[in-house]
Amino acid sequence: MTALLTWQGTLLCRRRTTGELIQRPVNSPLDDADLVEIGIPAERLQVTFSNHMRNDIGLSLQVAEGALAGWSVTRAADGRSINLERGGQFLSALYRSEVVRTASHANDWEGFLPLSPTDIETLRAIAANDWVVRSNATRVVAHDIRFTAFCGLKLGPLAFDLRWQVPFDLSAWPNRLTLLSDGWRIEQVCRFRPLVYFTAFGNEAIMRQFALSVRSLVTFGRYEGDIAVMTDRTPEEIAAMLPAFDRPRVLVFPCPARERTGFMAARYSIPDWPEAWQYQPLLYADVDTIFDADIAPVLRAIACSDRISAPLEWFSPLRTTVSVGASLLQRDGCEPGSEIGFNSGTLGIPNLFEHAHPLRMIGRIMTNNATLKAPGSRDDDDQVVANYVSFKLGHFDTMLLAPYVRV
């Protein structure tokens, strides 16, 4: 299937009742119309690096079926889009209208950009989500995203020409998308759907801390996104602890932890919950965390990061401090030099697609060590194991959260 984006940033459609060709917005529900499919694979119509290698950017094809059967397809003057011609007339999408007509010449309005089903899905997802511009950590909300004339895509103050983006580079999709401004200038945007999550087990004092932390998050922290708690309490028990305005926003992930290691390891089992994979970024906070300022800058910074982040514990050298994994590192023959450990009570996770592996490894080593450890050892403490895993393969960022966190 190949659909067509008009020069005006709309999709070429066909009205179901009359068969009339019309234009509709990219994010339109298409209740009364269908996308026009031209029956030629998008790979044959879009311009890729391989086309330049083969020097075969030109086109001369015939549409054999569908609403445009009998129309000829040629490459437009811009070298990226196509023209559709029949009997000396060119298909033309009228500017700022849903009308599609014909013209005797091929200029701007007569250009159409071929889109694959994946391209269309990507465009609709771009328009449906909030994003953070990685170069300056600016947030762009969904209602500030528009498709405009000249095959334009506007994300807040940023403008892109879609002719130089398709087929999209989806190597980091759906969490990140690399776009080219002016055909070459790299801009990367990161999807922004944050989740702040907690683990809460044990006595009533712990639960009161959890409730207070949540209240500080949504008041002083000005947080408006989703909140989750991994707990052995029921959703009804959690709801009873929170003010009414907090309850609908807290997702309860039942977690059957029954002892100390399970309580500590629970935060690292977040990849086991399918719902959590839909978020970027994720912020874990211990229940004794109090939020006293707007949390938005923290979340934007985490979303743009390439690494899991945790706050530096400046008084804990990895070489000598047991609480940040010194014993594990020594027994494994590691040489941490002058590196400093981190506090695992706060974790900034960009997303789970790229960062589930070290989290799961921390949880696995913790539970393994709970069985293997000698009496009095702290080898199953989460902070001990997290620092060890970070040194060996995670390389957590200990500076990103420094401006925001006080331990």
Structure tokens at 274: 């399918």
Structural tokens at position 34: 């269908």
- Give the Cα separation of 313 and 132 in Å (integer): 29
Q: Where are the domains of the chain?
A: 3-115, 117-191, 195-394
Give the residue among 267, 302, 118 at the shortest CA–CA distance from 192: 302
Q: Which residues of 111-143 are buried (b: 16+ CB within 10 A; e: fewer)?
A: bbbbbbeebbebbeebbebbbbbbeeeebbeee
Checking phi first, is residue 232 left (phi over 0); if not, alpha (psi -120 to 50) or beta?
Answer: alpha
Within 10 angstroms of residue 209's Cβ, the number of other Cβ atoms is: 18
What SS3 class is residue 21?
strand
Is residue 151 left, alpha or beta, with left meaning phi > 0 and alpha meaning psi from -120 to 50?
left
Q: For residue 181, what are the β-bridge partners? A: 185
CA triple 120-122-125, angle to 5 deg: 110
User: Whole-prediction pTM value?
Assistant: 0.90
Q: Is there a contact between 144 and 42 (Cβ–Cβ < 8 Å)?
A: no
Q: Tell me the CATH class for 195-394.
A: alpha beta
Largest interatomic CA distance in the chain: 88
d(C-alpha 399, C-alpha 318), whole Å: 16
Is the separation of the CB atoms in 364 and 357 below 8 Å?
Answer: no
Per the listing, tokens 């945790």 go with: 310
Q: What is the pLDDT along the chain (407 residues), one digit of tens a residue?
A: 899 999 999 999 999 999 999 999 998 888 899 999 998 888 888 888 877 767 778 888 899 888 999 999 999 999 999 999 999 999 999 988 899 999 999 988 999 999 999 999 999 999 999 999 999 999 999 999 999 999 999 998 899 999 999 999 999 999 999 999 998 999 999 999 999 999 999 888 999 999 999 999 999 999 999 999 999 888 888 888 887 766 667 899 888 777 777 788 889 999 999 999 999 999 999 999 999 999 999 999 999 999 999 999 988 888 998 988 899 999 999 999 999 999 999 999 999 999 999 999 999 998 888 888 766 667 668 899 999 999 999 799 999 999 998 87
Which amino acid, 323?
Answer: S
- Cα Rg, the chain, nearest whole Å: 27
Residues 6+ away with beta carbon under 8 Å from 350 = 175, 190, 280, 281, 302, 303, 304, 305, 306, 307, 308
**Of 324, 345, 343, 326, the residue nearest 334 (C-alpha):** 326
